[in-house]
Structures are given as structure tokens and as C-alpha cells.
Chain A
Amino acid sequence: MRSAALAVCAALLMFPSAVLGQADPDAQVGVKEGGMAWAAAWNAGNAAGIAAQYADDAMLLPPEGDAVQGRAAIEAFWQGAMDALPGVTVKLETRELHNLGDVAVEVGSFVNTGADGEPVGHGKYLVVWMLKDGTWQMARDIWNSSMGQ
């Protein structure tokens, strides 16, 4: 009886500990892979590949526009951005990553390069990642330009 109760306890307790995600060692890997996949998808003109990095209920907070909610709307947003910026490539660099359990905060910088190889923009971003179904997914994404106004 005692060992059965203990087994139930152990099973029940594993769930909250997974929810708390104490120092999940995979955040570093998951976020890095996600960021690389994001940039590769942009540079390949693959809006669906970008959207796949976001949680289905993610929120995008782009400059010069209203918030964009949900993966489908986010894919449409990035498709529109690609159509408006033909040949522009992006390079992302993670500056900080704070693993808070099943949530991680990434702060980074981006550089945009035109089709002619000239820099056309640079700025900074903050992404809130969430561990969902065993995968690190982008839940909130906000950025702005660092170029003087």
C-alpha cells in the first residue's frame, strides 16, 4: 500500500515538476535551433517555415502595425514582409537567453542585407519562448530598428 501511494505521488509530482520545467537543459539547444530555422526559412523565402517556429496562439508585435495573433496570421504577415523585401536576407544573433523553466526569454539583434549585399537595416528583438509538447516555440515576438530616426 505504502509503495503504491508513493508511486501515485511520484507520478503526480512529476507533472508539476515538468510544468515548472526547472532548468530545462534543452532551452539553449531548442532556442538556438529555432532561431537558425527562422533565419534559414526567411532567407529561403519560406513563410510557412517561419510560421512553424511559432506556437499556434503566438503573438507578433511588429513595428508600424498592430499585433498579429495566431500562427496563420503570422505566416501571412511574414509572407507580406518577404513580398515587400525581395532579396533581403536576415542574420539573427542571440545576445542573451534566460531559461525560466518552461519559459525562456531571448534578447538578440538582427541585421538585414539587401540583394546587392549592402546593409539595409539592423535592430533588436525580444522573443518569449515556451516549451510546448516538448518543443521550444516562439510565443511572443517583438522587435524594433536600432537605426537613428
Chain B
Amino acid sequence: MRTAGLILCTTLLALPAAALGQDSGAEAAINDGAVAWATAWNTGDAAALAAQYSADAVVMAPGAAAMEGAEAIEAGLTAAIEGAGGSQMAITPDEIIPVGDDHAIEVGTFVETGADGSHKDHGKYLAVWAKVDGSWKIVRDIWNSSM
């Protein structure tokens, strides 16, 4: 009886551990996402950039009102790429906090280098990720310059 009870406890306790997000795949997805984001920016591919966001995402860029929804985000990112003059972005996720099975918080840093190789900007960001229809998407994104 004692053994049976213990097995039952162990089984039941294993479930919440998985629900805590240890196996949610968030970390791998977010690390891949950071690479994909930078690659899309660096190749001027606004559609690929926008594809990282959920349909109802909110992007909070400095110096402007928030962009709400996929259409506004793609338009805003297209304008940002055009205004950046071929700058190159390096993105480093410094911290990934899984929250349950389908959310995660990412905190990281970015460095933007001008097309001429000059240091253009560096700063930090916070992205909230959610698993939407089985794939990880950015649902909220905010950053600022550290300069």
C-alpha cells in the first residue's frame, strides 16, 4: 500500500513539473527565434520578421506609439528596416523564464552596427512569448537603447 501510494504520488507530482515549463521547448524555440529575428533584419526581410509575432501581438518601440496587430507590426518593421540603411543586428537572449507550458519571458540585449561598420546602437529588450497553435510566437515586445 505504501509503495502504491508512493508511485501514485510520484506520478501525480511529475505532471506539474512538466507543466512548470521545464519541457515546454520554450528555450530552444526562443534561441532559434533570436537567430531568425536577426537574420530577417539583416537581410531586410520584413515579412519574415513579422512572421515571428502572433496575430494579436503588441510591439512597443521607443519614440512611437505601440504597434498593435500583425498588419501594423509588419508595416512598422518595414519602415524601420528602410530607415536603418542596411544596419546589422546581433541579438543575445540573456535570460529565458518559462511560465507554465505555453508562455515564456525573454530578456536580452542587442547591438546594432551600421552598414559602414560603425557602432549605431545597443540596448535591451523584453519579449513575452506564447505557444500559439503549437508554435512559439512573440506576443509582446519592448526595448530601449542603453546609450
Is A2's CB under 8 angstroms from B1's CB?
yes
Given contacts A1-B2, A67-B124, A128-B126, contact A9 B9 (CB under 8 A): yes
Does any Cβ of A come within 8 Å of B28's Cβ? no
1/0 per residue A58-80: CB within 8 Å of B?
A: 01011111110000000000000
Tell me, yes or no, whether A103 is within 8 Å of chain B by CB. Answer: yes
Residues 1 to 55 of chain B near chain A (Cβ within 8 Å): 1-2, 4-5, 8-9, 12-13, 16-17, 19-20
Query: Known: A16-B16, A67-B124. Contact between A61 and B107, CB under 8 A?
Result: yes
Among A26-34, A38-46, A111-119, A138-146, which stretch is in contact with chain B? Answer: A138-146
Contact B12 A9 (CB under 8 A): yes
Contacts of A100 in B (CB 8 A): 99-100, 103
Cα of A142 to Cα of B126 in the assembled complex, Å = 7
Contact of A19 among B20, B62, B146 (CB under 8 A): B20
Q: Across the interface, do A61 and B126 meet the contact criterion of CB distance under 8 Å?
A: yes
> Nearest residue in B to A148 (C-beta to C-beta)?
B63
Main secondary structure of the interface of B (DSSP, over half): mixed
CA distance A66 to B63 in the complex (A): 19
B16 touches A149 (CB 8 A): no
Contact call A8/B5, Cβ cutoff below 8 A = yes
- Check A84 for interface membership: any CB of B closer than 8 A: no
Cα distance A16–B145 in the bound complex, in angstroms: 39
Contacts A9-B5, A101-B99 given; does A146 touch B19 at CB 8 Å: no
Chain A positions within 8 Å of B100 at CB level:
20, 100-101
Q: Which residues of A contact B90 (CB under 8 A)?
A: none
Known: A124-B66, A144-B60. A64 touches B9 (CB 8 A): no
Is the pair B12, A142 in contact by a Cβ cutoff of 8 Å? no
Query: In the assembled complex, which residues on chain A have CB atoms less than 8 Å from the CB atom of B107?
Result: 59, 61, 140
Chain A to chain B: the 6 pairs with minimum beta-carbon distance, closest first? A5-B5, A16-B16, A149-B63, A63-B144, A144-B62, A144-B144
> Can you list 14 A-B contacts with CB-CB less than 8 angstroms, sorted by A residue number?
A8-B9, A9-B5, A12-B12, A12-B13, A16-B17, A19-B20, A61-B144, A100-B100, A107-B60, A126-B126, A140-B107, A143-B142, A144-B63, A146-B66
A→B interface (CB under 8 Å): 1-2, 5-6, 8-9, 12-13, 16-17, 19-20, 59, 61-67, 98, 100-101, 103, 105, 107, 124-126, 128, 140, 142-149
